């Protein structure tokens, strides 16, 4: 086991023994790449069992600055949110990997960590080019049904499950402010954004002005791309990276699903969405992902090609949006 884990092997083995028993000997540790806010390892045991180790180490979070300064309803990081959302989703019959144990002692290590169910299979994005359309249809219909069930959970106030205060402002105003901040960041590094910053801001303000007040919010994942859906051998979908889940405008979710799932969005679509909110959130995603890609690139994210591609794609998408939008 040459992989460097955040926990010393002896400490990890002791932890596993406390949770599962003495029959569980770690024989292989494999780092799972791709996470921007937590570190993930797959653990294989001598008895054939496997699970996942989640580590919420702020030093390994590429967005630690943003999370440290975030409003509670903007935060999408932390073991507390993972535990809360994991329990809530499972209670609602929404599949997500089971939480076996969460360690928040921070006596030996300055971070929280957990043992989580390993779902053997692939991510939903791997089925985009599957050779059997019946398999595709079955999977994405299951996912559509599961999301529709999740989205039926509603509340008169938006926010995280542990947010008790009643919000007096509309939730989209949080992302209005965020979009302005991300535009400011992106304009420092991309000439195409800097040259069009005024028009981008004007479009943002116009889209926001068209949104009418709302007093009912749905429970959403918050960043549900096909890379955040695991699929087992029975074609059952499981939601992962659930820390950002909350009660919010359902259009925030669907505007993201629409461009992330492409043609397969037809299995996930909802015909009762607010058109103006869809436009606003679609535009916000393009701006936010432009800035997000740049930040990953600047902060040493291992897959620099992905980070640059993310920023390039969404900056061009934002510019195409304002070209086709009449103010």
How far are the Cα atoms of 203, 213, 255, 277 from residue 210, in angstroms, in the given order?
Answer: 11, 10, 16, 8
The total of structural domains in the chain comes to 2
Q: What is the pLDDT of residue 1?
A: 47
CB 12 within 8 A of CB 45: no
What number of helices (H) and strands (E) belong to the chain? 10, 11
Considering the domain architecture, whether residues 79 and 142 belong to the same structural domain is answered as no
Considering the domain architecture, whether residues 59 and 192 belong to the same structural domain is answered as no
Considering the domain architecture, whether residues 274 and 315 belong to the same structural domain is answered as yes
d(CA 135, CA 144): 14
Return the CATH number at 231. Answer: 3.90.1200.10
Considering the domain architecture, whether residues 143 and 69 belong to the same structural domain is answered as no
pTM of the model: 0.92
234: in domain: yes
Contacts with 10 (C-beta within 8 Å, 6 or more apart), sequence order: none
DSSP 8-state secondary structure symbol assigned to residue 113: E
Considering the domain architecture, whether residues 301 and 177 belong to the same structural domain is answered as yes
Considering the domain architecture, whether residues 106 and 207 belong to the same structural domain is answered as no
Considering the domain architecture, whether residues 255 and 205 belong to the same structural domain is answered as yes
258: in domain: yes
Q: What is the pLDDT along the chain (327 residues), one digit of tens a residue?
A: 455 688 999 999 999 999 999 999 999 999 987 666 789 999 999 999 999 999 998 776 655 665 555 565 566 678 999 999 999 999 999 999 999 999 999 999 999 999 999 999 999 999 999 999 999 999 999 999 999 999 999 999 999 998 776 677 899 999 999 999 999 999 999 999 999 999 999 999 999 999 999 989 999 999 999 999 999 999 999 999 999 999 999 999 999 999 999 999 999 999 999 999 999 999 999 999 999 999 989 988 888 999 999 999 999 999 999 998 766
Considering the domain architecture, whether residues 147 and 290 belong to the same structural domain is answered as yes
Considering the domain architecture, whether residues 52 and 147 belong to the same structural domain is answered as no
Considering the domain architecture, whether residues 102 and 202 belong to the same structural domain is answered as no
For residue 153, give its domain range.
Answer: 123-323
Nearest to 180 by CA among 207, 215, 217, 142: 207
């Amino acid at each position: 086991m040459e992989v460097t884990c955040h926990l010393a092997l002896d400490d990890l083995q002791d932890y596993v023994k406390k949770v599962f028993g003495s029959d569980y000997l770690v024989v292989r540790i494999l780092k799972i790449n791709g996470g921007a806010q937590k570190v993930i390892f797959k653990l294989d045991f001598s008895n054939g069992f496997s699970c996942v180790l989640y580590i919420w180490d702020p030093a390994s979070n590429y967005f630690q600055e943003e999370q440290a300064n975030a409003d509670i309803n903007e935060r999408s990081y932390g073991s507390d949110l993972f535990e809360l959302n994991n329990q809530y989703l499972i209670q609602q019959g929404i599949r997500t990997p089971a939480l076996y144990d969460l360690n928040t002692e921070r006596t030996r290590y300055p971070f929280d960590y957990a043992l989580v169910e390993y779902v053997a299979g692939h991510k939903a994005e791997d089925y985009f080019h599957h050779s059997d359309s019946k398999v595709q249809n079955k999977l994405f219909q299951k996912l559509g049904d599961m999301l529709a069930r999740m989205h039926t959970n509603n509340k008169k106030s938006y926010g995280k499950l542990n947010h008790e205060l009643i919000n007096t402002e509309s939730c989209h105003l949080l992302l209005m402010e965020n979009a302005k901040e991300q535009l400011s960041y992106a304009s420092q590094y991309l000439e195409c954004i800097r040259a069009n910053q005024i028009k981008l801001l004007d479009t943002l303000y116009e889209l926001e002005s068209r949104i009418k007040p709302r007093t009912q919010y749905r429970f959403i994942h918050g960043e549900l791309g096909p890379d955040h859906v695991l699929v087992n051998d029975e074609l059952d979908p499981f939601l992962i990276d659930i820390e950002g889940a909350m009660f919010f405008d359902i259009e925030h979710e669907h505007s993201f699903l629409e461009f992330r799932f492409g043609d397969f969005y037809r299995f996930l679509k909802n015909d009762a969405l607010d058109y103006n909110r869809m436009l606003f959130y679609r535009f916000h995603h393009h701006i936010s992902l432009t800035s997000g890609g740049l930040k990953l690139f600047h902060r040493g994210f291992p897959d620099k090609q992905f980070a640059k591609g993310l920023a390039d794609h969404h900056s061009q998408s934002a510019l195409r949006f304002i070209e086709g939008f009449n103010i």
